[in-house]
């Protein structure tokens, strides 16, 4: 069965303390690996799509990478406004739907 597993479930960082979140996947026929960020009280918002192993994408303090088995979301010098839940998801096969992981709840302390 296709699935993604995110770790850790929760992460508490000091402002400026860089770290990485992990998304391990077992998906046959991966068509895209997505990262979304969900601020408290809001719906998820798209960050990145990765398709092939070795691909990297960057946006401000965030960088996403992809290997054949996992994806990382690297957070450089986080700020308190980065406190959110980061979600990994995948799209496979010929369907329109996306399957989400359970997320990593990130808290950045000033």
Partner 1 sequence: DVKVTQSSRYLVKRTGEKVFLECVQDMDHENMFWYRQDPGLGLRLIYFSYDVKMKEKGDIPEGYSVSREKKERFSLILESASTNQTSMYLCASSLRDRGWQNIQYFGAGTRLSVL
Residues 6+ apart with CB under 8 A from 94: none
From the number of C-beta atoms within 10 Å of its C-beta (0-12, 13-18, 19+), residue 51 rates as exposed
Query: Two tokens at 59?
Result: 């946006």
Give contact residues for partner 1 (rule: CB under 8 A).
31-32, 34, 41-46, 49, 51, 87, 91, 94, 96-103
Cβ distance to partner 1 smaller for residue 15 or 56:
56
Cβ distance to partner 1 smaller for residue 83 or 99:
99
Least spacing, CB of residue 43 vs partner 1, in Å: 3
Least spacing, CB of residue 15 vs partner 1, in Å: 26
Interior/surface letters 17-44, b for 16+ CB within 10 angstroms, e for the rest = eebebebebebeebebbbbbbeeeeeeb
Least spacing, CB of residue 82 vs partner 1, in Å: 19
Cβ distance to partner 1 smaller for residue 18 or 107:
107
């Amino acid at each position: 069965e296709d699935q993604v597993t995110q770790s850790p479930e929760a992460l508490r960082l000091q402002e400026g303390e860089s770290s990485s979140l992990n998304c391990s996947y077992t998906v046959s026929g991966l068509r895209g690996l997505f990262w979304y960020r969900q601020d408290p009280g809001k719906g998820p918002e798209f960050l990145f799509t990765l398709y092939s192993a070795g691909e990297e994408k960057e946006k401000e303090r965030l960088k996403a990478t992809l290997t054949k088995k996992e994806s990382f979301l690297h957070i450089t010098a986080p700020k308190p406004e980065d406190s959110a839940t980061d979600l990994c998801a995948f799209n496979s096969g010929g369907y329109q739907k996306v399957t989400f992981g359970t997320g990593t709840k990130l808290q950045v302390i000033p």
